[in-house]
Amino acid sequence: MESGTPLLPEPPPAPTRPSYPPAGPEPRQPEPHHTFGKQRESFFKRRVAPLGAALIAFLAKIKAILLFLPKIKLLVTAGSMAVSILAYTTIWGFSFAVGFVVLILVHELGHVIALRREGIKASAPMFIPFMGAVISARSLGDNALAEARVGLAGPILGSIGSAACIVIWQVTGHDYWRALAFTGLFLNLFNLLPVVPLDGGRAMAAMTPWMWFLGFAGIVALAILFPNPIILIIAVFAGYETYRRWQQRRAGGVAQQAYYRVAPRDRLIVGAVYLGLIALLVIGMDATHLPRTLG
């Protein structure tokens, strides 16, 4: 029998650690607040910044338009003057058409000056071929007396412009200025017909508004005796405006009564200016009348 060490069971193998890649520096976890800041910055660049730039560009264009607006108004006046000159050229020739349009401009500037003296902003004149020119304003004054001043200012300044043509005619002896003066005087005399919306109707607002009906009857008579599209258009407008103003005056109550309340002295002054203008214009037309010859 052999002697030796007793047999014992082998110990289990020692557990081995799983193998990993070589250890390196652990990746840093992203910091939430830095990521949010980058997202905000990216959103600002992609969305907000372009909108801001577009808004700034839009405001710059608006500013440029506002600065250019007065020039646009002048361009409208100049453009409508040019169209009117071309229209009147077909009747009288270019040189006379230019002079006639300038006389219309002088007439309208009388209204503009009077409106601004009343503290009312008025637009630049806009010319309408064969109908003259118009200006726009929020009102013609606070009362009938102011309306009369605004209405008469056009024929007053227009008559001065026509009188200047008479002076030039006397100096040069050229019948061009004589014919231009006669036409300008007639234009201002026609505007003194006592019917709204003509200038004479504005004067009647401070004198005797019932004269509007007499003036309208005169327009209708002219339309019958000398029928043409222009006088027919004026008659239609005069009829509508006369009816509207009279109804407004009757139904206006205290406000309308105050509007048409004019002191006797002021009414007398308006009447004297109105009748004096008519007399001077008739005399001037007689002095500058130039018989038209054919051939």
Q: How many domains does the chain have?
A: 1
Question: What is the pTM (predicted TM-score) of this model?
Answer: 0.73
Q: What is the pLDDT of residue 2?
A: 44
By the 8 A CB rule, do 193 and 200 touch? yes
Helix or strand holding residue 98 (H, E): helix 94-117
- Predicted confidence (pLDDT) at residue 71 exceeds the cutoff of 70: no
By the 8 A CB rule, do 161 and 260 touch? no
Domain assignment of residue 233, given as a range: 58-288
User: How many angstroms separate the first and last alpha carbons of the chain?
Assistant: 171
Helix or strand holding residue 106 (H, E): helix 94-117
Percent of the chain with pLDDT over 70: 74
Q: Name, in order, each residue with C-beta under 8 angstroms of 107's C-beta and a sequence gap of 6 or more.
A: 132, 133, 154, 155, 157, 158, 161, 187, 188, 191
- Predicted confidence (pLDDT) at residue 4 exceeds the cutoff of 50: no
Report yes or no on 293 lying in a domain. no
CA distance 185 to 278: 10
Longest dimension (CA), the chain: 174
8 CB burial (10 A radius; 0-12, 13-18, 19+): exposed
Q: In the Cβ-directed half-sphere of 48, how many Cα atoms lie within 13 Å?
A: 7
15-64 confidence digits (pLDDT tens): 555 444 454 455 555 555 555 455 555 555 555 556 556 656 555 554 44
Report yes or no on 41 lying in a domain. no
88-130 confidence digits (pLDDT tens): 999 999 999 999 999 999 999 999 999 999 999 888 889 999 8
Report yes or no on 227 lying in a domain. yes
- Predicted confidence (pLDDT) at residue 65 exceeds the cutoff of 50: no
Q: What is the pLDDT of residue 257?
A: 86
Mean pLDDT for 198-224 is 92
- Predicted confidence (pLDDT) at residue 6 exceeds the cutoff of 70: no
Mean pLDDT for 241-255 is 86
Q: What is the pLDDT of residue 64?
A: 47
Angle formed at CA 30 by CA 25 and CA 34, multiple of 5 degrees: 135
Three-state SS string over 10-45 comes to: CCCCCCCCCCCCCCCCCCCCCCHHHHHHHHHHHHHH
CB atoms within 10 A of CB 34: 9
Q: What is the pLDDT of residue 226?
A: 86
Q: What is the pLDDT of residue 7?
A: 42
Helix or strand holding residue 134 (H, E): strand 132-134
Among 158-162, 243-247, 279-283, 284-288, the range scoring the smallest mean pLDDT is 243-247
For CA atoms 260, 265, 269, 274, the dihedral sign is: positive
- Kindly give the residue spans of alpha helices, DSSP state H, lying in 192-294: 199-206, 211-225, 229-251, 254-259, 264-288
Report yes or no on 255 lying in a domain. yes
Report yes or no on 205 lying in a domain. yes
- Kindly give the residue spans of alpha helices, DSSP state H, lying in 139-226: 144-172, 175-191, 199-206, 211-225
Tokens of 186: 């007639």
Report yes or no on 28 lying in a domain. no
Report yes or no on 26 lying in a domain. no
Report yes or no on 261 lying in a domain. yes
CA distance 111 to 98: 21
Q: What is the pLDDT of residue 29?
A: 53
